[in-house]
Amino acid sequence: MRRPSAGVLRRGSPWFGQLGLSTVSAPAPEALNRAKSLFAVIPDYPEPGVTFQDITPVLADPEGLTTLAEALLAPFAGQFDLIAGIEARGFLLAGAMAGLTNARGGSAGVLTIRKAGKLPSPAAKVSYELEYGSAAIEAPDVLRPGHRVLIVDDVLATGGTIAACRELVTELGAEVVGATAVMKVEALDGEKIAGEVHSLFSC
Ligand SMILES: O=P(O)(O)OC[C@H]1O[C@H](OP(=O)(O)OP(=O)(O)O)[C@H](O)[C@@H]1O
Ligand SMILES: Nc1ncnc2[nH]cnc12
């Protein structure tokens, strides 16, 4: 297929996303500040000493949800085929991000990264440590070599979850093109384990 010049490119053209021309651009700083103001911050949950960052109220706010999806996507336009959302809140972000990408001329599906024991026939499983315990995640058998995957989660804390997700995707022969999260817990230095993560806010 001959690559068209940008001037004649239409939304829906298979070249649109590949040329990075998906129209998802970064939201205004005021919109981001508003979204941040909707966060719930819960001291000593789920155990003493942990300050839980809960994005649930932002998800319930139409403008806030769109703002998060736009900001999470903006640096990665046209670079991915699938958005890997990590159960549970990452699922919702990935769904919103894929919907927005597809509505604005790009192309994206969702890869559901599930907590262990939920998928009928997982293709791979990785165990990891959390700020409050340990866990394991599994991937469904939908990844193919050459798939470009963007990972998304709500919070980057120790980095164990995103690191495990990178490992899962890579083990299944696909390429991780980036990772993004809404909130980074600075004190835990999660990028040491998870690698580079584009995060919208830090606390
Ligand atoms: O950077 P890490 O230390 O790995 O922590 C981040 C993860 O912890 C939370 O999920 P949790 O495992 O508590 O599960 P939940 O989504 O079911 O609440 C959060 O949603 C991230 O997925
Ligand atoms: N502080 C925190 N807030 C929300 N999710 C988390 N996962 C690990 N630490 C967390």
Here the CATH number for the domain that contains residue 163 is: 3.40.50.2020
C-alpha 197/C-alpha 103 separation (Å) is 25
Q: Please tell me the total count of domains within the chain.
A: 1
* Closest atom of ligand 2 relative to the 54 alpha carbon: 4
Q: What is the mean pLDDT of each run of 10 residues along the chain (203 residues)?
A: 38 44 82 98 95 97 98 96 97 98 96 96 94 92 95 97 97 97 97 98 97
Count other Cβ atoms within 10 Å, centred on residue 64: 21
Q: For residue 19, is it within any domain?
A: no
pLDDT at 133: 85
Tell me the CA–centroid distance for residue 84 and ligand 2, in Å: 19
Tell me the CA–centroid distance for residue 14 and ligand 2, in Å: 38
pLDDT at 127: 96
DSSP state of 162: H
Q: For residue 124, is it within any domain?
A: yes
Q: For residue 2, is it within any domain?
A: no
Tell me the CA–centroid distance for residue 155 and ligand 1, in Å: 7
C-alpha 74/C-alpha 76 separation (Å) is 6
* Closest atom of ligand 1 relative to the 156 alpha carbon: 1
Among 70, 87, 104, 131, the active-site one is: 131
Q: For residue 89, is it within any domain?
A: yes
Question: In this predicted model, what pLDDT tens digit does every residue of 27-71 receive, in sequence order?
Answer: 999 999 999 999 999 999 999 999 999 999 999 999 999 999 999
Q: For residue 31, is it within any domain?
A: no
Q: For residue 57, is it within any domain?
A: no
- Burial (CB < 10 A; 0-12, 13-18, 19+), residue 119, is middle
Omega of the bond prior to 194 within 30 degrees of 0, cis?
A: no
pLDDT at 131: 81
Domain span at residue 140 reads: 78-202
Active site residue 196: no
